[in-house]
Structure 1
Amino acid sequence: TGQGRRMRRRGVGVGRVKNREKQTEKYKQLGAELQDDRVKHATEVLGQFRTQLEDFAEKYKSSIRSDPVFRKEFQDMCMEIGVDPLASNKGLWGELLGVGDFYYELGVQIIEICIRTRSSNGGLISMRDLLRKLRKDSNRSRQEVSSDDVKRSVSKLKKLGSGFSLLQVGRTTMVLSVPVELNRDHSAVLEVAQRHAGQVTLDGVQKELGWAEDRATRALERMVTEGMAWIDRHKGTTSYWFLSVWLESSIAGEEDDEEPGGGGGGGVAAGAAK
């Protein structure tokens, strides 16, 4: 009868739905198994990489500790597979390479220099100037340090909430050691100062940046208040001097007169890990 046919069709429809649900469940289970296999395989591969990395580090630890370029390449290779040699100075990597001690000591040196110079530069120092002072201060066993090493050390200090950060001004990297937020206007003023060996005037900033007087004044006064700029009044003209930028300009000029030597982005000698 018509009713019987409808019931049979309904039964077939319910059966198809149940079969689809079973198939869907099987597919989910198969997908989960494949995912587990992939994760297991990836874990095994990473484990092998770590083992090989440890062997590599043991074999070339002398070069890693003494050569800033080689050390940077090793650090980058580690980070690509999720290994941070700087995460702890007590673990395997610290024992194997001494990198934990190295960056700890470098961090202490950076803090000492920044505190010592803060009264004159307001806590803003160029990478070149910092590297030069690290060279001068390091009278212990000597080891090459690069700008990359300083950046890594500052990034660790930043995580401690110490007020340390990196500021890019044009092509120059600056280290900021005070908890001050510098906005784009302040960075723009610093770039103007770079073009004039660390010295700017209110009128000069307005002309070069196309700013209104009140905007230029706000930026300059904030940097004077923070101790990053000094006011020099001479014969009716007010100039603003940025010591950190002036020193950067002076050092860059001296380096241009010297023969290039060494590698690693301005390597200098600093206290080595023991």
Structure 2
Amino acid sequence: MRRRGVGAGAIAKRKLEEAKYKERGTVLAADQLAQMSKQLETFRGHLEQFASKRKQDIRKNPQFRMQFQNMCATIGVDPLASGKGFWSEMLGVGDFYYELGVQIVEVCLALRHRNGGLMMLEELHKRVLKSRGKLAQDVSQDDLIRAIKKLKVLGNGFSMIQMGGSYLVQSVPAELNMDHTTVLQLAEANGYTSAAEVKAALKWEPERIDHVLTYLLREGLAWLDMQATDGPQYWFPALCSKDAALDELNETSP
């Protein structure tokens, strides 16, 4: 009985010590959180001062603007989150990206009848720069990517598909899965592919190939050339870098 009493007392003591350690740990965690919050607030203040001094560089220099955006991201600040507030009033970056988004939509809509709603980022960048004119503020591909991400509020009509080291911009609400993306990546080099090429490269069953190519054709993302010497070819206007190739395809397409 005596040993039982000692054992019970030891357990109670250990629980009391654990409770104290837990309480101490909670206090330390709260102190650390408070210190981190204070440091972030200080950094945020310095970032605002930096932005005030270098606002012209942020507005006019795309590379500098990208580095500034990355700095903001490290502390959870999104200058594009709203058209109001300090960042919009001081830098105008919120309005800048919303206006750029409108220009992106205009370019995509103007070319949708030709490319089915798919366009390489490089091509979109070139056409947006042309539409803005020589005297307009310069924009980079990074600016376009940030503006496109903001366009997602319009629904699933705008998105980006990874294509090697670049992106394919989608401006139509088509549901593209991994099979569709894989075929697009296969066709990237030449701008077209065929059922035979897909079968040889991916080892897919004919039903799977037909399902994917038929969908891309139906959605207007691909054009079918029945007069190719090696059999039917599926052309993707978004992947054709030269207008001449598009003109030739227009002549041969039904």
**Fold shared per TM-score above 0.5:** yes
What SS does the aligned partner of 1:107 have?
Answer: helix
Equivalent-residue separation in structure 2 for 1:168 and 1:16 (angstroms): 62
Equivalent-residue separation in structure 1 for 2:5 and 2:162 (angstroms): 72
Aligned residue among 105, 109, 112 for 2:106: 112
Residue 14 (structure 1) shift: 4.0
**Matched-pair contact (CA < 8 Å) for 1:229–1:243:** yes
Q: Report whether the alignment pairs 1:215 with 2:208.
A: yes
Residue 140 (structure 1) shift: 8.5
Bigger CA drift: 157-166 or 203-212? 203-212
Equivalent-residue separation in structure 1 for 2:116 and 2:174 (angstroms): 10
What amino acid is the match of 1:216? I
Higher Cα Rg, which structure:
1
Match of 1:165 in 2: 159
RMSD over aligned Cα, in angstroms? 2.2
Deviations 1:5-35 (A, max 9, x none): x3x5554444433333332222222112111
What SS does the aligned partner of 1:228 have?
Answer: coil
Residue 216 (structure 1) shift: 2.4
Match of 1:31 in 2: 25
| Structure 2 spans left out of the alignment, 5+ residues | 244-254
Q: Report whether the alignment pairs 1:182 with 2:142.
A: no
**Matched-pair contact (CA < 8 Å) for 1:120–1:228:** no
Aligned residue among 124, 127, 132 for 1:130: 124
**Matched-pair contact (CA < 8 Å) for 1:158–1:164:** yes
Q: Taking structure 2 as the reference length, what is the TM-score of the superposition?
A: 0.86
Q: Which has the higher strand share?
A: 1
Change (3 A) 1:143 1:235: closer
Q: Report whether the alignment pairs 1:103 with 2:97.
A: yes
Percent identical pairs in the alignment equals 45
Equivalent-residue separation in structure 1 for 2:202 and 2:48 (angstroms): 52
Equivalent-residue separation in structure 2 for 1:235 and 1:135 (angstroms): 35
Residue 181 (structure 1) shift: 2.0
What amino acid is the match of 1:222? Y
Q: Taking structure 1 as the reference length, what is the TM-score of the superposition?
A: 0.80
Residue 239 (structure 1) shift: 2.5
Residue 235 (structure 1) shift: 6.8
Match of 1:240 in 2: 234
Match of 1:91 in 2: 85
What SS does the aligned partner of 2:53 have?
Answer: helix
Residue 162 (structure 1) shift: 4.3
| Structure 1 spans left out of the alignment, 5+ residues | 1-5, 252-274
